Amino acid sequence: METDSRNLVAAIRQSLPRAAWWAVCASLAVLFLYPLYVMLSQSLKTPGEAAAAPPTPYPHRLSLDNFRALGGDTGIDIVASAGNSLLVSLGATLATVVLSTVAGYGFARLRFPGSNILFYATLATFMIPFQAVITPLYLLLNNLGLQDSLLGLAAVYTTFQLPFGLFLMRNSFAAVPRSLEEAALIDGCGILKALVRVVLPVAVPGAVTTALLTFFSCWNEFFAALILITDQDKFTLPVSLSVLASGSFGSVDWGVLQAGVAVTIVPCVVIYLLLQKYYVGGLLSGAVK
């Protein structure tokens, strides 16, 4: 009898931390999801209900009007814009990941005189407000013949994502114990082979994080896309959405805006879910033995 109740108490005490953990995590999750719920419900309301005061907690009548408005009877092709965004974001992401991985390894392992200074100098890229360099950038792209081109935009995005990627990848490579590399080198691999076989798998989480963040930044970026792209056919998604969601005089069509945001989020979530597998997988398998 006593052992039973003691077991029960022990069982409860054992499961308390777990219950507490679940309670805390779940309440936080509600807090985090609430704004997204608001966004979704707002986008599915009829335009009249979307402007209601006080606001309705959920759409009383589901309506796709706001999404239809995105379809654009106004010459804005949202599918084309999404395609442009995809091209630019993927291009910049791949370029950033490749360049920062390669350079990150160089900075971490293959020191040369001045490498430290150069590395910290690249961080300067992050310390300038974009608004300050946008006009010189515009003129530069003009001179290079890259004005109004998605390639130019992708190049600009890559440049401004590089510092973060470099920092992250350098950190990742630096965290790999030299002993591992030395072992591989002694076994007769060249530097590149050592990189691929031994070091790269451990750097995968960092690379995936860099890829994710670069993609999201490029996908959502508005100001550079606005100034550097002039042809409406080449507008990226944020610019097109801004046009579609605006009323006159800075007034905002809240329903259409939220519908646009909802549409924007979907590819990001998909990419996150896809890459999350590699990310977690990399963590588990890349554990240092």
Partner 1 sequence: MTAPHRRTLSRGGRRRLTGIAMTTPALAMITLFFFVPFVMMLWMSLHDWPLLGQHRFIGLKNYRHALHDTEFRTAVIFTVKYTLVTTPVLFVLGLALALLVRHKRRGARFFQAVYFLPVVVGLASAAFLWLFMFQSDIGPAGDLADHLGLGSRTTNWFAGSTSAMLVVVSMVTWKVVGLQMLLLLTGLQSIPTEVEEAARIDGASRVQTFRYVILPLLRPTLALVLVFSVAGSLLAFDQFYVMTGGGPANSTITAVYEIYRTSFIRFQLGYGSALSALLMIVLAAVSATQLLLLRSSDR
Partner 2 sequence: MRFRRAMAAGALLTSVALLGTACGGSGSDTPGSGSGTVTLWARDSQKSFINILADAWNKDHDTKVKVTVVPSANFVQKFGTAAAGGTGPDVASIDLVYLPYFASTGVLDDITDLANKLPYKDGLSAAHRRLATYNGRTYALPFTAEASVLFYNKGLFRKAGLDPDKPPTNYAEIISAAKKIRALGKDTYGYAIAGQCGGCNVFEFTPHIWASGGDVLTADGKKALFNTPEVTDALTFYRKLYTDGSMPAQSKTDTGTIQPALFQSGKLGMTPLGAFFLPVLRKDDKVDFGVAPLPGRNGGSASFAGGDEIAVTKNAKNKAKAQEFVRWATGEQAQTVLAQNGIVPVRTDLIDKIYTPLDPRYKVLAEAMEKGRTPYSTVENALFNDNNGPWVRMINRAVFDGDIAKAQKEGQQAAQSIIDDAP
Q: What residues from 150 to 209 belong to the interface with partner 1 (CB under 8 A)?
A: 155-156, 158-160, 162-164, 166-168, 171-172, 174-175, 191, 205-206, 209
Closest separation between CB of residue 124 and partner 2, Å? 24
Structure-token pair, residue 284: 């588990």
Please select the residue that binds partner 2; options are 19, 121, 151, 280, rule is CB under 8 A. Answer: 151
Angle between helices 130-144 and 150-174 (to 10 degrees): 120
Neighbours of 244 (CB within 10 A): 21
Q: 238 burial class (0-12, 13-18, 19+ CB within 10 angstroms)?
A: buried
Q: Show the CA angle centred on residue 210, arms to residues 206 and 216, nearest 5°.
A: 145
Length of the chain: 289
Partners of 82 in the β-ladder: none
With CB under 5 to 8 Å by kind, the binding choice for 185 among partner 2, partner 1, none is none
Q: Does 254 bind partner 1 (CB under 8 A)?
A: yes
Q: Does 71 bind partner 2 (CB under 8 A)?
A: no
223-252: contacts with partner 1 (CB under 8 A) = 238, 252
Please select the residue that binds partner 1; options are 110, 186, 188, 231, rule is CB under 8 A. Answer: 110
10-39: contacts with partner 2 (CB under 8 A) = none
- Which residue, among 28, 37, 95, 88, has the nearest Cα to 237 in the 3D structure? 88
Rounded CA separation 202/173 (Å): 8
Q: Which residues are near partner 2 by CB under 8 A?
A: 47-48, 51-54, 74-76, 84, 87-88, 90-91, 94-95, 97-98, 134-135, 138-139, 142, 146-154, 196, 200-201, 226-227, 230-232, 234, 239, 242-244, 246-252, 254
